Amino acid sequence: MTAASLVSLVASAMLLGSVYSLVNLGVVLLVRTTGTMNFAQGEFIMLGAYVMSALGPSMGYWPGLLATCVVMASVGFLGYYLLMRFLHGGSEFDKVVLTFMLSIILTQAVIMLWGTDPREIAPATRARVPLLDTSVQATTFIAIAMTVAIAVGLVLFLSRSITGLRMRALSADESLAEYYGIRTEVLSGLAWAMAGVCAAVAGVIYAQGTAVALTLPEILLLAFPAAVLGGLESFEGAVIGSLVVAGVYTFTNYVLGGQWSIVIVYSLMLITLMVRPYGFFGRPVAQRL
């Protein structure tokens, strides 16, 4: 393997890791604040990419991305307000089933609005950064910077702001939070809106290197093992687990091929579940006797 090939592989792994990180930041956010595992996150990613493909050409990349984030925040909030809030106090299984229903609704909405033909997103820049004997797309560094900014922002928001602390209290005991006057529905809707923004940015970053298509939710098939690896309640774990899975997938794909890379990633997830069921950065759940 040449130095140029190694740089290209590392850059690809970092870009893919950024996408998985953004996906899992949204997943972890909902788990930590509302206790809901959102299996519609893949469809949020797809919808965000389609919205950007519609707004980007007329508005430009950065205004289009900002508008896309606003749209997806609204979709996330409405998804909670029109569907998820009616399961207040319901079982976790019911909530998971409803997220599957939400994924079907979002997919059909995309088909009705844009059809089934692939679309494209123009990148923020086509510049390349020289590195060793090759060059790396500048969009890779932009993606990494956005991921770091969102991750740090979420951690600071949940740990330092009053609203963030109330959202964490909501996850710990929703009934008790209501008793103390915390507006649980508003905070839950805010969490869904923020998860929608994470999905939008992930979808835009990923689709600008491939295509905007109905297959975009498949990102979740590799992002989910990364979330399990890091821990479903850890932002740090979401990022580190995503980088590990992206690195393993990219390098095994280069050496062994695509089929083996998926097998190895899921084998890594199974080993993690056997050794640390709550992930390497998660915490064991206390059980009452």
Q: Helices 41-59 and 61-82 meet at what angle, rounded to 10?
A: 140
* Residue 20: burial class (beta carbons within 10 Å; 0-12, 13-18, 19+): buried
Distance in angstroms (rounded) separating the CA atoms of residues 10 and 197: 26
Where along the chain do its domains lie? 14-217
What's the chain's Rg over C-alpha atoms?
Answer: 19
- Digitized pLDDT (tens) for each residue of the chain, 289 residues in all: 677 788 888 998 999 999 999 999 999 999 888 888 888 999 999 999 999 999 999 999 999 999 999 999 999 999 998 888 777 666 777 888 899 999 999 999 999 999 989 999 998 888 888 877 788 889 999 999 999 999 999 989 988 888 888 887 776 666 676 766 777 788 889 999 999 999 999 999 999 877 889 888 888 888 989 998 988 888 888 999 999 999 999 999 888 877 788 899 999 999 988 888 888 887 765 544 4
Query: Which residue, 224, 242, 252, 236, is CA-closest to 37?
Result: 224
Distance in angstroms (rounded) separating the CA atoms of residues 218 and 78: 24
Q: Which pLDDT belongs to residue 284?
A: 67
Residue that the structure tokens 């890594």 belong to: 268
Q: Which pLDDT belongs to residue 192?
A: 93
Contacts of residues 167-171 at CB distance under 8 Å and 24 or more positions apart, as own/partner, are 167/32, 167/33, 167/191, 168/32, 168/33, 170/33, 170/34, 171/31, 171/32, 171/33, 171/34, 171/35
Q: Which pLDDT belongs to residue 1?
A: 65
Q: Residue 148, Cα to own-chain centre: how many angstroms?
A: 13
Q: Which pLDDT belongs to residue 174?
A: 66
